[in-house]
Chain A
Amino acid sequence: MRLVAIFNALGIILVALGVIMLTPISVALLAGEHASILPFVVACAVSAGLGLLFQWRGGFSRDFDELKRSEGMLIVTLAWLVTGAVGGIPYLFYGLGPIDAYFESISGFTTTGATILKDFSPYPHTFFFWRSLSQWLGGMGIIVLFVAILPQFAVAGRQMFFAEAPGPTEEKVTPRITHTAKALWLIYILLTVIEVGLLRLSGMPLFDAVCNSFSTMAAGGFSPHPQSIMGYQNPTGVWIITLFMFLAGGNFALQYRVLFQGKIRALAENEEFRLYAAIVTLMSLLLCAALVAGGAAGFNDGLRDGFFQIASIITTTGFASTDFALWAVPAQTILFTVMLVGGCAGSAGGGVKVVRVLFGLKYLKREIAQVVHPKAVLPIKIDRVPVPEDIQRQILGFLLFYISLMTLSALAVSIIEADAAVGIVGTAATIGNIGPGYGAIGPMGSFGHLSDLTKIIFIADMVVGRLELIPFLAMLHPDFWVFKR
C-alpha cells in the first residue's frame, strides 16, 4: 500500500469536491439568503485546503496508473468518509452538533435519506438544496463522478470504479472506463432533467421539483418538505416520482444500452430487470390489497400508495406518500420484505441488490435439485450465462456477511436504545441505504433523538452498506494495512 498514491488521490478528490461545494451558493444568491453563502465558502476552503495539503504530502505526483486493488479500496472508503465530513461542514453553521452534521451528511452522500432533523421550519432553501445535491452526487457514486470528470483517474479509475460498486458483474458499456463513467452520468443527468420538467408540469414548485428529482434519481429520499412527498398532496406527482424511482432502481448501464445503443430487447432479456419488475408489480398489488382490506385506503389511493411505497423502499429511496409507520402490521411486513431486496446492480439503489437475491434463489433451487439427482451437474445461470465459481462464492459470502452484520448491528442498537423495533428496522434501513423505518424513526419521525452511539453505528452501517461490504471486509484482514511510502 503506497501512502503517496492514497494521499494524492484523496487530495485530487477533495479539491474537486471543494469546487462542487460552491454550487449551493448560486441557490443562496437566487433565493436572497446571503447568510447561507459563508458556510459553503468555508466548506470549499477547508476541502480545497485539505486537498492541497494531501497532494503536497504526496508530492503532487500524478502516477496512479499502477493502483493496486487494495489501494483502490482504501481510497474509495476514505473518499466516502472524508467527503461525508466535508459535506457536513455547512450543517454546523445551522446549529447542528458535529455528530448530527456528520450523520446528515453521510446519510446524504450514501443516499440513505435518514434525517436527524426534527423540525424543518428554521432552515433556508440553500440548506435543503445541499441535502438533495449531496444525495444526487452520491447516487451515481462519487468515485464514478470523479472518474468521469477528472482526467487524472483515466487509468487508475478502473480499480476504484469497481471497488465502489463491486457488483457480481463487471459491467462496462464502453471499452474505456472514463467513457463508461461519462455514459452513466449522461443517463443520470438526462433522467433527472426530465423528472424536474414533469414534476414542474404537475404543479410542484420549481425548487421542490429540483430537490425532489435529485433525491429520486439518487434513490436518496431527502425531501425539502417535512412530510416528504405526502406534503405536496399531488397525486400526479406521486405517480411521476414512482416511475422515476423505478428507473433509478434499474441498472443504468442497461438503460444506456436501451436509450443510446438502441438495444430495446436488452431490457426484456435481462433476468435481473425482469425479476425486479416482477417483484415491484407483485408486491405493490399485494400491498394495495392489504391496504384496501385493512380499511386504510380506497382502491385508488391504495394502488397509488402501494406502488409508490414499494418502489420507494425497494429502490432504497425512502420517500413517503403517506405515513407508512401508521399502517397495520401486515402492510408494514410487506414493506419490510422488500427492504431486504434493494435495487438492481449498477443502479442508484442500495441494499442486497436484486441480482444477488436472484442468485440466492437459484442457488436454493439448485441445492434442492442436487438432493434428488446427486450426480447431476447443475450450473447456476443468470442471463443464460453460467455464474463462475469465484463469483458464486463471493455472492454467498456477501449474503452471509450482510446478515451477520445486520444481526450484530441490530442487537447492539436494540440494547442501546432499549427498543427492538428501532434496532432491527433502523439497521435494515441504514445498511440498505433506505432511510426511514417504523415507529419513532418512521417517515414523519426523525433519527435526531437517538443516542450518539447509535448514530455512529448507523453512520458505519450506511457507509458499509453503500460500498457493498467488500472494501470494508478487505480492511478486516491484517495484510491490508501494510504501508510503504
Chain B
Amino acid sequence: MNILICGATETGYMVASQLYRKHNITIVDDLDRLPEKFNNLDVSFVAGNGADVLVLERANTATADLFIACSLIDEANIVACWTAKKISEAETICFIRRMELYRNLASLSQNRYQTKYDIDTIIWPEQLLTQDIFRIISVPDALDVEYFARGKAKLFEYRIKENSLIRNTRIMDCSFPENVIIVGITRNHSLFIPTGSTTIEIGDKVIFMGTGAALDLLAAQFFRNVNVIKTAAVIGGGSVGFMLAQKLEQAGIKVKLIEHDRPRCVYLADNLKRSLILQGDGTDIELLESEAIGDSDVTVCVTNNDEKNLLCSLLIKQLGCERIITRVGNVRNAALFERVGVDVVVSPRDSALKELLNRLQAKDVNILAIVERGQGEVLRLHLPEDFTETLVRDFELPARAIIGVVKRGRNVVIPNGDTPLLPLDQLIVFTMAKDAEAIKSVFAR
C-alpha cells in the first residue's frame, strides 16, 4: 500500500515505524530534511507544506491508497485531507487535537450538513484515551476493560492479590462461572497464553473473556474489593481531564479535579456541572491531604508531563488510594511506571494506534483491542461462506491463539472444545502480537 504521511511529528513517527516494513511510506513536511530519528526508518521524504496542492502532486498523492495528516496544526490537517481527496482516491485519516474542530468533523450530525468534510476517519488520541480510561474506571478493580459485540462480550484484566481465592490454583481447577475463559496471563511483564494446567500466581495479571453477565458474576465472586466507584480524583485538567470529568459526572461519580493553571480552572469550572475544581499542584502534598484525595475510589493522573504523573501517582498511592490510573506520553516509561506501583498505565498513542491499525487491515480482519502495550491483540475474524463446519478442538490455526467469543447472528457463544464453528461466524480471537500476522494471513484474502 502507498501511504502518505503529512507531518514529521511524534505521531507521524509512531505511524511510520509501525508501517514501514510492509508499506511504501512517503512523509511530507515543511522541513529541510527529516528529523534525526526518522533516519532508521525506510521511508521517502518530500519537503513542502502538506496543504499545498503542488507539493502533494510532487509526492505522488494520486497513487496513494492512504493519506494520514498528523501535523501539529488541526486546520492544516483538514485542508491537507481535503486537498488530497480532490486529487486522488486515497482514504484520508486526519489527526485532531482540539475539541472545537473534533465536534465539526466527527459528530453524527455531519450527515445533515449541506456538504460533508472530505475526511474518512478522524482520530483524536486524547478522546480515545478518555474512552479507554473511562471504560477501565467503570469496572471496579479491573486493570483493563474492553467491550466487544456491543457489550455482549467483554474482556477484563485483573491482578491476582494475596487474598485472592484463585491464587496457586491450576486453571482447570478454578470454579469460574460458565461462559468465562482465561485467555492470557502476564507474569513479570511478559504475556503468554496459558493452558489448563498453568498455575495462577500472586502478582499475575490475568485476562478473562466472556459474556457481560458472566464476567460481572466473576467480578462479584473473586474480585470484590470496591463494588461501586463513587468518588474519583483527576489530576490535570487538559482535554483528557476535562472530558473524563464530564463522563464521570454523567455516570454519577463525584469528581475532584486538580489543575494548576488559573484560567484553565475557570474554564473547567464554567463548563463542568458538578465537579469540584481545585486550583493547585498535583504534587502539593498538603493540598492532596486536605482534600482527602487518598480516600477517593480511583485516581487518574493525566497531566501532560510523565514525571509529574509518576510523582503524583506515587504520592497518592502513599495517601491510601487503592487504584491509580496514569497517563504516560513516552511509551518506554510505561513498564517502569508499572514496576513502581502504578496500577494502570495508559497512553494516548496506544489508543490512537489501535484505531489507526484498524483502518489498515484487510476487510475480514479487525483489531478490536491491544492489551499489555501491544504484546497481545484481540482480533475479529470472519469465517467465509464456504467454510466447512468444524469443532473448535479440530480448528487449526497457524499459531497459538484462543477463540474467546463466537458471534453467530445476534447470539454470543463462549466456546469450549465441543462448540461447532459454522460458516459466517465471527470469531473474536486472542493472540500474541507476534503471531497476529500468521493468524490474519489465514483469513485475509
Which residue on chain B has the smallest CB distance to residue A378? B269
Return chain B residues, CB-CB under 8 Å to A376. Answer: 276-279
Q: Is B238's CB within 8 Å of the partner chain A? A: no
Which residues of the other chain, A, contact B266 by a CB distance below 8 angstroms?
A: 377, 379, 386
A373 at the B interface (CB under 8 A): yes
Q: Does B244 contact A (CB under 8 A)?
A: no
Q: How far is the CA of A373 from the CA of B265 in the complex (A)?
A: 14
What residues of chain B lie closer than 8 Å to A379, measured between beta carbons?
266, 269-270
Chain B residue numbers with a CB within 8 Å of A378 are 269, 277
Query: Is A381 an interface position by the 8 A CB rule?
Result: yes
Asked if B269 contacts A377 (CB within 8 A), the reply is yes
In the complex, whether B4 has a CB less than 8 A from a CB of chain A is no
CB <8 Å contact, B276 and A373: yes
- Interface assignment of B291: CB less than 8 Å from any CB of chain A: yes
In the complex, the answer to whether A375 meets B287 with C-beta atoms within 8 Å is: yes
Tell me the B259-280 residues at the A interface (CB within 8 Å): 262, 265-266, 268-270, 273, 276-280
| CA distance in complex: A386, B280 (Å) | 21
**Alpha-carbon distance between A286 and B31 when the two chains are bound, in angstroms:** 76
CB contacts (< 8 Å) of B291 on chain A: these are 373, 375
Number of A-B contacts (CB under 8 A): 31
- Tell me, rounded to whole Å, the shortest Cβ–Cβ distance linking B241 to chain A: 14
Binary A-proximity of B58-75 (CB < 8 A = 1, otherwise 0)? 000000000000000000
Q: Mark B379-413, 1 if CB is under 8 A from A, else 0.
A: 00000000000000000000000000000000000
A351-382 contacts to B (CB < 8 Å): 373-379, 381
User: Is A375 in contact with B279, judged by CB distance below 8 angstroms?
Assistant: yes
| CB nearest to B273 among chain A residues | A384
Bound CA–CA A377/B278 (angstroms): 6
Q: Are B270 and A381 in contact (CB under 8 A)?
A: yes
Tell me, rounded to whole Å, the shortest Cβ–Cβ distance linking B207 to chain A.
40
A interface footprint on B286-318 (CB within 8 Å = 1, 0 otherwise):
010011000000000000000000000000000
CB-defined contacts of B290 to chain A, threshold 8 Å? 374
Contacting A at CB under 8 A, from B216-265, are 262, 265
Cβ B270 vs Cβ A386 within 8 A: yes
Q: Separation in Å of the B263 CB from the closest CB of chain A?
A: 10
Q: Are A375 and B270 in contact (CB under 8 A)?
A: no
Q: How far is the CB of A269 from chain B (nearest CB, A)?
A: 14
Q: Which residues of B contact A386 (CB under 8 A)?
A: 266, 269-270
Chain B's interface size range is: 10 to 19
Q: Which residues of A contact B279 (CB under 8 A)?
A: 375-377
* Chain B hits for A374, CB < 8 A: 290
The interface residues of chain A lying within 8 Å CB-to-CB of B287 are 375
A384-B270 Cα distance, complex, nearest whole Å: 8
How far is it, in angstroms, between the C-alpha of A374 and the C-alpha of B278 when the chains are bound? 8
Nearest neighbor of A369 in chain B, beta-carbon distance: B276
Using Cβ atoms and an 8 Å threshold, which residues of chain B touch A375? 278-280, 287, 291
Whole-angstrom CA separation of A378 from B273 in the bound complex: 11
Give the residues in chain A near B270, CB-CB below 8 Å. 379, 381, 386
Question: Complex formed: what's the CA distance from A377 to B276 in Å?
Answer: 8
Report the separation of the CA atoms of residues A373 and B273 in the bound assembly, to the nearest whole angstrom: 17
Q: Which residue of B lies closest to A379 (CB)?
A: B269
Nearest B residue to A386 via CB reads: B270
Q: From A375, A377, A378, A379, name the one whose CB has the most chain B CB atoms within 10 angstroms.
A: A377
Within the complex, the shortest CB–CB distance from A372 to chain B, in Å, comes to 10
A381 to B268 Cα, complex, angstroms? 13
B157 to chain A, nearest CB (A): 35
Closest Cβ of chain A: how far from B261's Cβ, in Å? 11
Chain B contacts for A373, CB-based, 8 A: 276, 278, 291
Contacts of A381 in B (CB 8 A): 270
Residue of A373, A374, A376, A378 with most partner-chain B CB within 10 A: A376
A325–B60 Cα distance when bound, in Å, is 91
Query: How far in angstroms is the closest Cβ of chain B from A392?
Result: 13
Distance from B265 Cβ to chain A, minimum over Cβ atoms (Å): 4
1/0 contact trace for A66-92 toward B, CB 8 Å? 000000000000000000000000000
In the bound assembly, the distance between CA atoms of A379 and B262 in angstroms comes to: 12
Q: Which residue of chain B has the shortest Cβ distance to A381 in the bound complex?
A: B270
Q: How far is the CB of A375 from chain B (nearest CB, A)?
A: 5
CB distance from B138 to the nearest CB of A (A): 26
Task: State how many angstroms separate the Cβ of A382 from the closest Cβ of chain B.
Answer: 12
Cα(A374)–Cα(B286), bound, Å? 12
**Whole-angstrom distance between the alpha carbons of A376 and B273 in the complex?**
14
Chain A residues within 8 Å of B273, by CB: 384
A124 and B37 CA atoms in complex are apart in Å by: 98
| Cα–Cα distance between A427 and B187 once the two chains are bound (Å) | 81
Residues of A within 8 A of B278 (CB): 373, 375-377
Once bound together, how far apart are the Cα atoms of A88 and B265, in whole Å? 56
Instruction: Select from chain A the residue with minimum beta-carbon distance to B277.
Output: A377
Cα(A377)–Cα(B268), bound, Å: 9
Query: In angstroms, how far is the closest chain A Cβ from the Cβ of B305?
Result: 20
A377 to B287, CA, bound (A): 14
CB closest residue in chain B, given A385: B270
Name which residue of chain A comes closest to B237, CB basis.
A377
B residues near A384, Cβ cutoff 8 Å: 273
**A13 vs B321: C-alpha distance in the bound complex, in angstroms?**
71
CB-nearest residue of chain B to A389: B266
Could you tell me the distance in whole angstroms from the C-beta of A249 to the nearest C-beta in chain B? 29
Tell me the bound Cα distance from A377 to B269 in angstroms: 7
Top 7 nearest A-B pairs (CB, nearest first) are A377-B265, A377-B277, A386-B270, A379-B269, A377-B269, A375-B278, A375-B280
Would you list 9 pairs from A and B whose C-beta atoms are within 8 A, ordered by A residue?
Answer: A374-B290, A375-B279, A375-B280, A376-B276, A376-B277, A377-B279, A379-B266, A381-B270, A386-B269
Other contacts beyond A376-B277, A381-B270: 19, CB < 8 A: A373-B276, A373-B291, A375-B278, A375-B279, A375-B287, A376-B278, A377-B262, A377-B266, A377-B268, A377-B277, A377-B279, A378-B269, A378-B277, A379-B266, A379-B269, A379-B270, A384-B273, A386-B266, A386-B269
